[in-house]
Structure 1
Amino acid sequence: MAITHPSFGRLDDDRIIIFDTTLRDGEQSPGFSMNLEEKLRMAEALAELGVDVMEAGFPIASPGDFESVQAIARRFAKDGPVICGLARTAPADILRAAEAVRPAARRRIHTFVSTSPLHMRVKLRLRPEEVLELVTSSVSLARQHAEDVEWSAEDGTRTEPDFLCRCVEAAIKAGATTINIPDTVGYALPEDMARIFTMIRERVPGADQVVLSAHNHNDLGLAVANTLAAIRAGVRQVESTINGIGERAGNASLEEIVMALRTRHDAIPARNNIVTRNILRTSRLLATITGFDVQPNKAIVGRNAFAHESGIHQDGVLKDASTYEIMTPESVGWTTNSLVLGKHSGRAAFRDKLRALGYGEVGDNQLNDAFRRFKDLADRKKVVYDEDIVALVDDEIVRDHDRVRLVALTVATGLGAKPMATLALEVDGERRDGMATGDGAVDATFNAIRNAFPHDVTLKLYAVQSVTGGTDAQARVTVRLEEGGKLVDGQGADTDTIVASARAYVHALNKLLVKRERTAPADLRTMLSA
């Protein structure tokens, strides 16, 4: 039965709303962080992807979170997806969220409270009747500031059925237009999801006049399966993230849900507004911004997702791709572009290759910087592969708003000699020089960075891998830093492993600065006194 929603108008039975929480739940992952410019870039990519609702952040969490949510709301002041801000039941939370999303053309306040016996007893220390009162008061207040209000039962899948129904009924009566039952700890099985949503539809008055939503975590690897089960049980909204990022084991993966619905339309006849050919470039953008690559065998967007090594498989694919491919690579953004770039390639061919690789339109200044670095790479390599281009342009195009940049690096080392590194950083536009020795070339380089830009962190991980094969291959380095319990990963690539290491360290350093700004915005000099 069709219903009417304040943000979407008439919703037919087969319409699925795609709610993306990459910028909120996804960014809560340990080591993941984005600065304001990166969040805006990601928000634009999500809008181009076609998400219906974008949960932009948790405005009360910090001044930085509020600023980013408000900036995204302003970016979509005339048109675009619904911009959503998360809030607990406290009036201050709800008012802060309302202020943050107000500039958006379409806005939503998303308020939640725990409803399971364990959470109520241990976390909230409240009786069930007190929680019911919070449901009513929080939704009522949110509704005064937005027509579109979502209410969530935190730990809903471990909530007693009768009490869950009472809470849902209270939220609907108070004005909620979307009811979300999250599997907060990834505990449920697909049959649990079907049972819970069927129960709500059958037992709760007014449930047929609101949008039911599912938000599943992946602790048992069942997030997508649970989401599909919820859709089959009548859910009209699914909450997910790009690449499945999120706390602990992550969330249901947007790309997997969407392609499952598209590929198995015969079993689940549901439609959505996602532009699937933009999936890969959105995935790559997120991986570049966060410094976390998806695993090679990741469904849809992993580099092996459409690779065939077995002779039997290769033979079948050559005869008819559908023998072993249930979707086309092009449908999610993989390209068959065979244009080979080298040192004689021009700027136009380079720009075309960037489009094919999912970078979209690139500004002239960014293009010039990336093209200059590409030419330098082409002089050092016989063949420049797509993977090489992706690795090198990440620094120039995606990380162009970093506050700390590597400007120059010289390392002197050799058998029996004490390695020494000399480098220059640009910090908020100001040049800072550093020099240090170390146990090796990499250690000396990292010490020199600390000399130029004093800070106190712990190196938790240093890993090197080859982007492609051959002795002239670029090295991709991952550096993990810890500061006060906060973990961040940085990545860098270059044919010189030491340069790649320095880039990775500086990338991680920039992410630590973002985390600092979230909790205590201050001038960069604050970090220098650490």
Structure 2
Amino acid sequence: MLEISRKTNLLEQASYKYSLQDVKEPNLYRDMYNYEEAPKIAFNQRRVPMNMPEDIWITDTSFRDGQQAMAPYTVKQIVDLFKLMSRLGGPYGLIRQSEFFIYSEKDRQAVQECMDLGLKFPEITTWIRANKKDFKLVRDLGIKETGILVSCSDYHIFKKMNMTRKQAVEYYLETIRSAFDAGVVPRCHLEDITRADFYGFVVPFVNEIMKLSEEAGVPVKIRACDTMGYGVPYTGAALPRSVSGIIYGLQHYSGVPSEMLEWHGHNDFYHAVSNASTAWLYGCCAVNCSLLGIGERTGNIPLEAMVFEYAGLRGSLDGMDTTAITDIGKYFEEEIGYEIPPRTPFVGEDFNVTKAGIHADGLLKDEEVYNIFNTEKLLKRKPGVTVSKTSGLAGIAYWINDHYNLTGENEIRKEDPIVAELKEWIDRQYDEGRTTNISNRELREKLKEMKQND
């Protein structure tokens, strides 16, 4: 049978209706996921069309998934970060939603205080255990949407839940009906989708969800969860690891609209950002992130990374205030006591700081040579240098100009005698066995001493 596709406006075969394969033994993809070896990336050379949605956005899970990986935030910390996140997302709400726990009194107080701010974005959503009592709690708080766990790999269905695929589908659908009865929009978290039997379970199950949604007249969101970070962004990669294949399949064979589709990834194999961008490119409107990427094991998709991915793909920040990223980083370190690894992009202490003399020479001539963009404008952070044994004359001159705000005619050149004298002192430090960088305090004190001896 041929039908006009609403997605491509082309005649396409509509005979691909996948049925649930209720297998007796779990499909654990042992050829790909041999637990004693590194996971293998298989290719079948099947390619799907790129299909960027008209609108894309970011959602947040800092107060849900993020809180599972560190000491719980206080109510004040949640409210402060929520306000910074709203500022970062800008007037158009490019950080569209933020996800909260609501189990404890403290969780609910944080939700209420964030709601009392009256901010349009991010919209507050929740994540709950799938039972009627929790659905009522969501509704009573005045929250319209909640996430529910619908694990979809046989690792979870057979090994954790001790069910068959058919039993799992029946249980999940009853849970979704409970959400409808409570007047809450369910967001179905397809946990462990990158180890799931995509056409034998995921597509038939999502088809049932979409059918139930249509019958009830209530929208349902689908979150594709790369729980273990197995997803890959490569063209021609085989399922279940292909991110583009997953997004295409959910749209093409289950009819999930782009605006109801969300990608949630982890960074176990360093693919979190590239996988999220791939999800956008192939038809997913939302990518779910956390501040600084804080989350279980190796973390989630860093929210600040996707802000700049958005700008790169769209050619504009569209109102997002990226200076809030620096304030968020400072808040984590100064108010929460979280130690950010110094080389973390955008927020780490050293992210735009060079220690190599040849790089400092480039910065001295024109900062654009060795700085990724105007970090002073976009992040309120000037490029800097750290003085060490490899800094050279250029690095020392740059440090002096930067720390004493010397510009124009007052600027120190690397040929200046004071630079040569300071370098001689630094070289002696390392000749005598020093192994650490020269601190800013030490440099200031040495310059003060040199000036007094003139």
TM value normalised by structure 2: 0.65
Alpha-carbon contact 2:259-2:284 (below 8 Å) kept: no
Q: Which has the greater radius of gyration?
A: 2
Distance 1:108 1:75, change over 3 A: farther
Q: Specify the alignment match of 1:243 in structure 2.
A: 292
The answer on 1:65 being equivalent to 2:107 is yes
Q: Specify the alignment match of 1:44 in structure 2.
A: 83
The answer on 1:99 being equivalent to 2:140 is yes
1:317-466 aligned within 5 A = 317-336=363-382
Give the structure with the larger strand fraction: 1
SS of the equivalent of 2:353 reads coil
Distance 2:317 2:206 in 1: 26
The answer on 1:90 being equivalent to 2:131 is yes
Distance 1:271 1:253 in 2: 17
What is the deviation of 1:469?
A: 3.9
Identity of matched residues, % = 24
Equivalent residue in structure 2 for 1:298, among 326, 333, 344: 344
Long gaps (5+) in structure 1: 3-11, 339-384, 387-464, 474-530
Equivalent residue in structure 1 for 2:330, among 284, 287, 290: 284
Long gaps (5+) in structure 2: 1-5, 8-51, 235-241, 385-402, 405-436, 446-454
What is the deviation of 1:320?
A: 3.5
SS of the equivalent of 1:219 reads coil
The answer on 1:196 being equivalent to 2:196 is no
Distance 1:330 1:57, change over 3 A: same
2:169 alignment partner AA: L
What is the deviation of 1:147?
A: 6.2
Distance 1:74 1:284 in 2: 25
Equivalent residue in structure 1 for 2:261, among 200, 203, 212: 212
What is the deviation of 1:39?
A: 1.3
Distance 1:141 1:328, change over 3 A: farther
Distance 2:275 2:181 in 1: 33
What is the deviation of 1:470?
A: 4.5
The answer on 1:17 being equivalent to 2:60 is no
Q: Specify the alignment match of 2:122 in structure 1.
A: 81
Distance 1:170 1:181, change over 3 A: same
What is the deviation of 1:281?
A: 0.6
Alpha-carbon contact 1:85-1:98 (below 8 Å) kept: no
Distance 1:278 1:229, change over 3 A: same
What is the deviation of 1:216?
A: 0.6
Q: Specify the alignment match of 1:311 in structure 2.
A: 357
The answer on 1:34 being equivalent to 2:73 is yes
1:473-512 aligned within 5 A = none
Q: Specify the alignment match of 2:281 in structure 1.
A: 232
Equivalent residue in structure 2 for 1:123, among 152, 160, 167: 160
Aligned positions, number: 329
TM value normalised by structure 1: 0.56
Alpha-carbon contact 2:139-2:184 (below 8 Å) kept: no
Distance 1:330 1:136, change over 3 A: farther
What is the deviation of 1:286?
A: 2.7
What is the deviation of 1:148?
A: 4.5
Distance 1:137 1:287, change over 3 A: farther
What is the deviation of 1:85?
A: 0.6
The answer on 1:179 being equivalent to 2:222 is yes
Distance 1:52 1:135, change over 3 A: farther
1:200 alignment partner AA: L
CA displacement 1:144-168 (0-9 Å, x = unmatched): 5556542211112211112111222
The answer on 1:156 being equivalent to 2:193 is yes
What is the deviation of 1:82?
A: 0.9
Distance 1:244 1:84 in 2: 19
1:64 alignment partner AA: K
Q: Specify the alignment match of 2:205 in structure 1.
A: 167
Distance 1:272 1:171, change over 3 A: farther
With a CA cutoff of 8 Å and minimum separation of 6, indicate the structure with the bigger relative contact order: 2
What is the deviation of 1:250?
A: 0.8
What is the deviation of 1:302?
A: 1.1
CA RMSD in angstroms, aligned pairs only = 3.2
What is the deviation of 1:248?
A: 1.2
